[in-house]
Amino acid sequence: MPDTTERRPYHHGNLRTDLLDAAERRLRVHGVEQLSLRDLARDVGVSHAAPRRHFADRRALLDALAESGFMRLGAKLRAAVNGIDDKDDLPARLQAFAWAYVQFATENAELTGLMNSRKRRPGATVVAEAAAAAFGQISDLIEEGQERGELEGDDPEGIGLILYATVLGITSMLNSGMIEPARLEGLVGTAVTQFLRGARPTEPR
């Protein structure tokens, strides 16, 4: 009797990367509930067992997808901030940071939602570390401003969280249809301006 077992390749040179790419495409179109290792194996064209060489289960896949997202976000934020020639121009660097985040979050709405939910999952250490590395950059900017006397306070992480919460709110409103895309750039600019106004020292140093 001929062997009717599905014959698909088990080995795949860039399987992990291809699975994550396929997962993000499926996430964008169908949402997180439609992500499964079996479907991704079929999308990529490998055996159903092959993905488990890289992801023990669906939870590991989602964590890896979130980690990858934070790494990409971190690189985008870093490039935006480093793109400002004047390293002492705090307003411009904060504007660049905020705008880069908003662009990423609105262009990758489903992925951003997954990232934000997975980083809070107990045991998702690698995701939390990737998130901290991405957003730690804003704390560095705030700390630089404090050292130069441009900003008050001694808690750069807490102060940076205020700006992050503001731009997160703006992107959430856009992604849910509460505000029009045409207003996005103006709202981000206003958010950073108002943040800086409130964070400046009340008395010159």
Cα–Cα–Cα angle for 71, 74, 78, nearest 5°? 140
Res. 199 pLDDT band, cuts 50 70 90:
confident
**If phi over 0 gives left and psi between -120 and 50 gives alpha, with beta otherwise, what is residue 31?**
left
Residue 100: phi, psi to the nearest 5? -65, -40
pLDDT at 7 over 50: no
Which pLDDT score, from 0 to 100, does residue 203 have? Answer: 60
Find the distance separating the first CA and the last CA of the chain, reported in whole Å: 87
Which tens digits make up the pLDDT trace of 114-167? 999 998 888 889 999 999 999 999 999 999 999 999 998 888 998 999 999 999
Share of the chain above pLDDT 90, in %: 69
Which tens digits make up the pLDDT trace of 54-97? 998 999 999 999 999 999 999 999 999 999 999 999 999 999 99
Which pLDDT score, from 0 to 100, does residue 4 have? Answer: 40
Res. 200 pLDDT band, cuts 50 70 90:
confident
Q: Tell me the average pLDDT of the chain.
A: 89
Question: CA 147 to CA 125: how far, in whole Å?
Answer: 31
Mean pLDDT of 184-194: 93
Query: Which 3 state secondary structure label does DSSP give 142?
Result: helix
pLDDT at 13 over 70: no
Neighbours of 11 (CB within 10 A): 9
Evaluate the CA torsion angle 126, 129, 131, 134 in order and state its sign.
negative
